[in-house]
Amino acid sequence: MKKLAIPLTRREILGGGVAGGFLSASGLSAQILNPSKASSLNLKAVITVGDATYNYPNGPKIPSYYVDFHDDGRVVFHLGALGIRGGSSVPPKAYHFGPHQVRIERDGSAVFDATIPAHYWNAQWTYRPNPIAPNRSPAQIVAANRMFPFGDTGRRIGQVANFRFKGPMDNAGVTVYMPTTGERPDIGLITDPSAQFMLGGDPQPMLAWAQANGSFPLHYRDETTGKLVDLVKYPQANCYESPAQGQPWFPRYPQDAAGNNILGGGMVAQQAHFPEMSYVAYQATGDLGILENVQYNGNYTILCDAARSVHGAAIISGELRGVAWAFRNLFMAHVATQDAEARGGLPASCHPSSYWKKH
C-alpha cells in the first residue's frame, strides 16, 4: 500500500492502492455543504473502506470527497476538488475511488446501506428519500413555455429502450464515450427518452438518464463554495486537455505513471456530442438534484475549451456543433433555474438565474 506524503495513522488510510488510478487516501478535513442541515434533519453518512470509517458531517473525512445535505432530504456524494487559489489553481491529486460501503442514517437508523463499486473523479450521485416521479405533464410543460409542443410525426416511431439506472456511476444506456459518431438516441435538441415522455410515453427512461448524468466526469465543483465553479469570477477557468488556455486549469482525469488518462468507466464528456440528459426531466419533476446536473452541463460546455475566453469574459469555443450544444445547455440552465426560483428557491449548491444571463 502506498502512503501519501503526510503522517497518517492506520485507520486514516483507505484500503486499496493506487493501481489503476484508485488512490489510498487519508482522513483529512473537508468542507461539508449544510452541516447544520444534516444536524437538523438528524442525518449522517458513514463511508467504510476496509476497516477504516469516515463520518459526515462530523469525523474524519476522505480527501476531495464531499457529502452535501439538502433541505429536501437529498444527500449528494461528490468526488473532486479544484484547488483554486487566488485565480490560479493547485489541483489536488485526482483519483477514482474504489469499492466502498455507504450508509446513511436518520435518527440513528439506516435508511440506505449499500456497497458502491466505484466513484469517478468529478462525478457525483444522489440519495433521495423518495423515488423521482413527474409532477408536470407534457401539456403543462408546454403551457409554461418550457418546451416546444410535440405533435404527430406522421410516421411510426420506434420504441425507446427501457433504460434503467442501476446505481451510482451507471450510465443507464447513455453513450459513455461522447465523441462516438453516428446515429444515437442521445443526440439532438433533446434525447429520445425525453421526446418519448413529451409524446405521452413512459418517463422512466428519461429519469434514468437524468440520474446517469451525475456519473459523467463533468461536475467541476468549487470546494470553497459548494457550487459549480463560478465562470463569472474565473472566466478563463478551463479543463482543456492541457494547461495551455489560462488559469485556473483543472485536470479531467487521474493519470498513470506514463501520463496516460485513466477513464472512470470509459466515460468521456465532449462538447461536440453533448446530450440533453436532464432538462426535460427537471421540468417534469422539479427535482433539485436534476437541476444541479442541468447547471453542471451548462458550465462544462464553456470550461471544456477556453481558447477564446479573456480576463473579463468566459467565451464559448469549439466546433460549430459543439457551440450550438453549449448555447442549448446555457439556455436550458437559465430557464430551469428561473423555474426553480419561481417554484420556491434554489439549493445552496446552485447558481441563481442571474449567473446564466452573464454568459
The pLDDT confidence band at residue 205, using thresholds 50, 70 and 90, is very high
- Quote the pTM value: 0.89
Q: Are strands 100-106 and 88-89 parallel, antiparallel or unpaired?
A: unpaired
Judged against a pLDDT cut of 50, whether residue 12 lies above it is answered with: no
Whose cell is 440513528? That residue is 108
- The reported pLDDT for the residue numbered 339 is 96
Give the residue, 88 or 314, on which the prediction is more confident.
314
Judged against a pLDDT cut of 90, whether residue 354 lies above it is answered with: yes
The DSSP annotation for 333-357 comes to HHHHHHHHHHHT---TTS--HHHHT
- The reported pLDDT for the residue numbered 359 is 62
Cβ neighbours of residue 235 under 8 Å, at least 6 residues apart? 309, 310, 311, 312, 313, 314
SS3 48: strand
What's the rounded Cα separation, in Å, for the pair 230 and 38? 25
- The reported pLDDT for the residue numbered 17 is 31
Judged against a pLDDT cut of 90, whether residue 31 lies above it is answered with: no
Whose cell is 444522489? That residue is 126
Q: Alpha carbon of 246 to those of 87, 100, 241, 305, 336: distances in Å?
A: 10, 36, 12, 10, 30
pLDDT cut 70: percent of the chain above it? 87
What's the rounded Cα separation, in Å, for the pair 148 and 188? 14
**Domain assignments of the chain as residue spans, ordered by start:** 10-356
Range from 14-18, 233-237, 248-252, 263-267 carrying the lowest mean pLDDT: 14-18
Q: What is the mean pLDDT of residues 41-66?
A: 93
- The reported pLDDT for the residue numbered 272 is 96
What's the rounded Cα separation, in Å, for the pair 14 and 50? 7
114 - beta bridge partners? 102
Average pLDDT, the chain: 88
Judged against a pLDDT cut of 60, whether residue 4 lies above it is answered with: no
Tell me the per-residue pLDDT of 76-123, one tens digit each, with 9 for 90 and over: 999 999 998 776 778 899 999 999 999 999 999 999 999 999 999 999
Tell me the per-residue pLDDT of 128-175, one tens digit each, with 9 for 90 and over: 999 999 999 999 999 999 998 887 767 777 789 999 999 999 999 999
